[in-house]
């Protein structure tokens, strides 16, 4: 039987907190029942904990009933005083705790690998097992992802190490609301045979290749880049997976906001800033518009860029309907590419024409910034009566450090939405880049990121209401990210 690890965590400043002020993060009735059920199982399970964790359990509840309690400590006198049974050739009973060194536990488990073991804390013990290899490395992680815990600078926090990409998120519970907290039970399993590497390494390898083999080039922004030409990456987005990078924090809500901005046909930055997103401030500023010869646009207007080309291609552009929230869009006219895609997915899913393109030269001089990602093509395949949807998006100009992580999640989410709306399942996202570059003012940051070890990709859950909602009525809170435990943010200045 495998070694398992059970823990309740809150994600705080890119670290996994397991205790606050030497106490549980929260006293949750449902979570305690879940913990009891999985650790007792069919009986004779072993729970392994540190000495501090054991004595933090109220005396009336210890040892934990119907489980064999192993308590790890390096205090030889304490072990001797508590009369540890050192005969590892026999089983223990569940009427008392057994204090032992880690090496004694190792001897026991090597002789009895058929027993079911749950590691239950604290931080040092979790880290000890997470850093093991072979049979002592946990096979399954049972993680309660807890939201709503408030922290202050005065709190004493206990942490555990983040687990790496070798653990795959294979399932999760419905959201549970208890008191002021919300939480889910997540299950991870280690399977490096099926998943021999993380898809995130494709991104990191791409960045590393540019640094090692790229060409130094001048560019429109004046910052300068290191650049290579043409590459492709493929990402698994099946079973709710979302390739949101974990080697730095990527602002998921900002990505979703930009996606909904574009898919609703909006071309005014005010939509984004009203939602606290400022990624388009530089490219729609007064200074930037004036340099483009667009003095007649008010600040914040993009012109006939992404959203306009997606929903109204061919129509005559006017800034009076840039913010489509305040406009009867049925009067704008033009060709609605998104509707065209949805119609084909419904009526002719195996067509080779299911695609959108935002590259429209006739509108270039009216647009503040030409599209960097300029098209996506969709591909449907069927297996055992189930339709699977993949998408390939193309970029003429790909900012690897700041832009590309956004673009990957943007199109992954779009595929997930279309699958929900057309009774399909997501399969794969393919990225194809032309001029793939790292700006000179991002080199230090990307080198820092490359040295980090990826963590498990999260999953995305969509509100069922999206199935029938108009795109302009979709909201950021219709999307939930599950199991996102990234490294901390790496800040960099956007090249404008």
Kindly report the backbone phi and psi dihedral angles of residue 302, in degrees, each rounded to the nearest multiple of 5, phi listed first: -85, -30
- Assess contact for 235 and 408: CB atoms under 8 A: yes
CA dihedral sign, ordered 177, 181, 182, 187: negative
Q: Which residues are 70's β-sheet partners?
A: 48, 98
Kindly report the backbone phi and psi dihedral angles of residue 294, in degrees, each rounded to the nearest multiple of 5, phi listed first: -110, 45
Q: Which residues are part of the catalytic machinery? A: 372
CA angle 127, 122, 104 (to 5 degrees): 70
- How is 437-485 classified by DSSP, letter by letter? EEEGGGHHHHHHHHTSPP----EEEE-GGGGT--GGG--GGGEEEES--
Dmax over Cα atoms in the chain, in whole Å?
86
- Assess contact for 35 and 6: CB atoms under 8 A: yes
**Dihedral over alpha carbons 314, 316, 321, 322 (to 10 degrees):** 70
Q: Spell out the SS3 assignment of 308-331.
A: HHHHHECCCCCHHHCCHHHCCHHH
DSSP-assigned letter for residue 283: G
């Amino acid at each position: 039987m495998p070694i398992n690890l059970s823990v309740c965590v809150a994600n705080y400043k890119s670290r996994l907190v397991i205790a606050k002020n030497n106490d549980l993060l929260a006293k949750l009735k449902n979570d305690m029942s879940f913990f009891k059920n999985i650790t007792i199982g069919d009986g004779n399970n072993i729970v392994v904990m540190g000495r501090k964790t054991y004595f933090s359990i109220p005396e009336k509840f210890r040892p934990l009933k119907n489980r064999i309690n192993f308590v790890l400590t390096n205090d030889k006198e304490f072990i001797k005083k508590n009369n540890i049974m050192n005969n590892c050739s026999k089983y223990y009973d569940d009427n008392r705790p057994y204090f032992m060194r880690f090496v004694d536990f190792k001897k026991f488990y090597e002789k009895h690998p058929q027993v079911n073991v749950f590691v239950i804390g604290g931080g040092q013990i979790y880290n000890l097992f997470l850093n093991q290899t072979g049979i002592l490395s946990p096979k399954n992680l049972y993680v309660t992802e807890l939201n709503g815990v408030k922290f202050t600078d005065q709190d004493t926090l206990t942490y555990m190490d983040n687990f790496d990409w070798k653990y795959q998120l294979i399932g999760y519970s419905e959201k549970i609301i208890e008191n002021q907290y919300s939480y889910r039970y997540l299950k991870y399993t280690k399977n490096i045979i099926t998943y021999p590497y993380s898809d995130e390494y494709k991104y990191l390898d791409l960045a590393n290749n540019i640094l090692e083999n790229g060409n130094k080039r001048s560019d429109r922004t004046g910052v300068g880049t290191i650049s290579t030409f043409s590459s492709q990456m493929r990402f698994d987005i099946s079973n709710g997976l979302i390739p949101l990078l974990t080697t730095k924090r990527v602002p998921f809500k900002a990505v979703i906001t930009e996606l909904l901005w574009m898919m609703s046909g909006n071309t005014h930055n005010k939509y984004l800033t009203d939602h606290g997103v400022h990624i388009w401030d530089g490219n729609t500023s007064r200074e930037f518009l004036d340099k483009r010869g667009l003095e007649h646009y008010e600040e914040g207007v993009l012109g006939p860029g992404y959203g306009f080309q997606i929903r109204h291609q061919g129509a005559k552009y006017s800034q009076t309907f840039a913010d489509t929230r305040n406009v009867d869009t049925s009067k704008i006219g033009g060709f609605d590419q998104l509707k065209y895609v949805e119609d084909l997915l419904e009526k002719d899913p195996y067509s080779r024409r299911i695609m959108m393109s935002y590259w429209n030269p006739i509108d270039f001089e009216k647009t503040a910034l030409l599209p960097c990602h300029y098209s996506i093509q969709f591909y449907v395949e069927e297996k055992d009566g189930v339709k699977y949807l993949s998408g390939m998006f193309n970029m003429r100009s790909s900012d690897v450090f700041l832009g590309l992580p956004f673009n990957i999640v943007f199109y992954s989410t779009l595929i997930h939405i279309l699958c929900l709306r057309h009774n399909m399942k997501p399969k794969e996202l393919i990225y194809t880049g032309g001029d793939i570059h790292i700006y000179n003012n991002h080199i230090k940051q990307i080198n820092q990121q490359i040295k980090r070890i990826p963590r498990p990709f999260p999953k995305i859950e969509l509100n069922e209401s999206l199935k029938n909602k108009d795109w302009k009525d979709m909201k950021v809170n219709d999307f939930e990210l599950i199991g996102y435990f990234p490294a901390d943010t790496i800040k960099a200045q956007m090249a404008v």
